[in-house]
Amino acid sequence: MLHKRVLSAAAGVPLLLLAVWYGGWAHFVLTVLIMVLALFELNRMFARMDIRPSMAAMTAGVLILSAGAYRGGMESFGLAVTPAVALLLLVGVARYPAVAPVDVAAGLAGTLYVGLFVYFYLIRTLDGGLTWVLIMLAGTWAGDTAAYFAGKKLGRRKLAPRLSPGKTVEGALGGLAGSVLGASLVNLLFPSASFLMVVLLGLVVGVFGLMGDLFESSLKRSAGIKDAGGIIPGHGGILDRFDSMMFTAPAVYYFVYLFYQVRNQ
């Protein structure tokens, strides 16, 4: 299993970094592609829970949110939330009773959940955005890797046995340390912030990455599955690989926006 994870990372990470480095439309298209694939996996999980939102409406909602982000950054993204939500509600009314209110609620939640990943693109639009994206990626990946090995070697106390029996307190602490280390290494290569701020940002990435992982675990446990998909050998599905970033991307965006961009305006 480990060798599959390594091979998948060796193939996928350079493509991801190339799109991030290039920025603009390449980064945007990659972000949208990841979100659409994640929606398909989420919809399959909903089906296993006997919840059937409109996949077309969720996809349209995510595309509306993405178009808003691409058109005018955070301000337009916020404005796009209303038409995206309205569309899902109208589809629920038009397709009732085939789409029940609980299906509409799940579709709304799923669209907004997956839509959080648009911050992966929005971080790049901030001043010094490339460095902040790299810090987010390094912190998330290093945190996941450190948590995995720390849990394997040192794990004793269960962190959230009902959600993810394999996660331990020791693994979570190792993940926090890994996130801080990953963020610090990127900052050494591309200096952008003080040591204290990078440590704080690394901790933010570690905490929110763990929250994202646990939330996806709750979805999989409710659906009765081990992996959200199988598109990435050794990792599972898109949600299995990017679940942490659904939470770390918006956390990093707002951390940088509030502590750097607003202060420097």
- Single-letter amino acid, residue 45: M
Predicted confidence (pLDDT) per residue in 156-179, tens digit:
888 888 878 888 999 999 999 999
For the chain, list residues with pLDDT below 70.
1-11, 232-235, 261-265
249 within 8 A of 117, measured Cβ to Cβ: yes
d(CA 195, CA 263) in angstroms, rounded, equals 18
Q: How many helices (H) and strands (E) does the chain have?
A: 10, 2
Mean pLDDT of the chain: 90
252 within 8 A of 123, measured Cβ to Cβ: yes
Determine the pLDDT at residue 89: 96
Determine the pLDDT at residue 107: 96
Predicted confidence (pLDDT) per residue in 53-74, tens digit:
999 999 999 999 999 999 988 8
